[in-house]
Amino acid sequence: MPDKQAAAAIASGLEGIEAGTTSVCSVEQGQLLYRGYEIHDLAEHATFEEVAHLLLVGHKPSTSELAAFKRELAPLRNVPEWILDVVRRVAPKSHPMDALRTGVSLLSHIDPDVADNSLAANLRKAKRLLAAIPTVIGAGQRAIDGKATVAPDPSLGHAANLLYVMTGERPSDLIARAMDVSLILYAEHEFNASTFTCRTIAGTLSDMHSAVCGGIGALKGPLHGGANEAAMEMLKEVGTLENVRAFMDNAFATKRKIMGFGHRVYKNGDHRAPILREWGLKLTKERPQFRKWFDIGDAVQKIMLDEKKIHPNVDFPCGLTYFTMGIPVPQYTPIFVASRITGWCAHIMEQHADNRLIRPLSVYTGPAKRSWNG
Ligand code: CMC
């Protein structure tokens, strides 16, 4: 007989369950810390490359370590033409997350360390993926736009180069830093759905590329990373400040989720959201025509807080900020990948370094034992 009592006792969605240990990241009293460094501190004082080094190598880089890290990453941005060719072919007919997943899968075929799960090989693979992912994203977007692929610029940082390969234009310092901060905020978040997916795949002793493909699949969903796209699409649907009240009334009446709001871990607000909102607002000083979208967002946020006590998560200001940068909405979640690849790879390395298969049990709720022949 199905054990209904046991089923009821299971935390739905594994809410509140500690499913393993990690030294990569923690959430302490609502604060997000990467290896002990709090997210406000990192967003204010670090660059994305420094954070990537912190997550992947395990410590804050010295000046010379950072320079060496950047020198190592720059040539790894180059991706063979045959891979970019496949990406260019599929991109115009697919969601960019699907094209990116295919690109990462193809990268596994040229990686000399693909089947080696040692720490040293995993670190080499993580750096290759970190450097190559923007090139794949850029080739896909340029194909969608009917334009030639732009070769990565080794003189640019990760964030500026990501924008450059997508648009063909070098971003202003302000836009590059706003993107850099968004990548810092997105880099890591302990056992979120995509990272847990990566760890589960790595836990079978499968390889890093396979785990990252799984992570991309999990991140794509609108309840996870896909929320940054969904939030902006929703705001476009609202359209005007005057329409906010009617939109929200209808959403509440039809139990429609307001995208970019709510969080499994942060019930009193996601600390990353105000940081990114501030950066988005800075951009509107140079691009005042986008200010209207922040006003609409603020009105939605006020109603959500006043009437539902639900706060925005980082994906809400992210949608607004990337929109202000002029980035096509379907690229918001791939950009999330260009950052979260660091957290995923850090967790995959940690899993491989001290592995035990992840294999929980389920509580059966189907029919009781019966005979096939009746
Ligand atoms: N809009 C409307 N109601 C909401 C929302 C929302 N965005 N989020 C939560 N609620 C309600 C929910 O309906 C439930 O109400 P009730 O108790 O009456 O059924 C209550 O709040 C508790 O929510 P929950 O669904 O039990 O919360 P959860 O921890 O299972 O889900 C969540 C968390 C993030 C999936 C959910 O808040 C959600 O769907 N948000 C919208 C999608 C989104 O923004 N996702 C991004 C997540 S954070 C960053 C990232 O991963 O990229």
The four Cα atoms 215, 160, 230, 14 give a dihedral, to 10 degrees, of 30
Mutation choice for ligand 1 from 216, 252, 263, 266, CB with most ligand atoms inside 8 A: 263
Strands across the sheet containing 37-38: 25-28, 31-34, 37-38
Token pair of 42, please? 């990192």
Identify which of 362, 308, 358, 315 has the alpha carbon closest to the alpha carbon of residue 335: 315
Closest ligand 1 atom to residue 314 Cα is: 49
What residue ranges define each of the domains in the chain, with the CATH number in brackets? 74-222+332-353 (1.10.580.10), 227-325 (1.10.230.10)
pLDDT of residue 1: 44
Looking at the DSSP bridge assignments, the partners of residue 249 are none
Output the CA 73–ligand 1 centroid distance in Å.
Answer: 37
Ligand 1 site residues, Cβ closer than 6 angstroms? 13, 192, 223-225, 227, 257-264, 310, 313-315
CB 321, CB 283: distance < 8 Å: yes
Whose Cα sits closest to atom 45 in ligand 1? 223
pLDDT of residue 11: 84
Token pair of 230, please? 């969904």
Angle between helices 332-353 and 173-186 (to 10 degrees): 40
263 assigned to active site: yes
Output the CA 263–ligand 1 centroid distance in Å.
Answer: 6
Residues of the chain with pLDDT under 50: 1-2
Q: Specify the pTM.
A: 0.97
Give the CA distances from residue 359 to residues 124, 138, 204, 304, 356, in Å, rounded to whole numbers and listed in that order.
28, 37, 9, 38, 9
Output the CA 257–ligand 1 centroid distance in Å.
Answer: 7
109 assigned to active site: no
pLDDT of residue 223: 98
Catalytic residue among 207, 315, 347, 352: 315
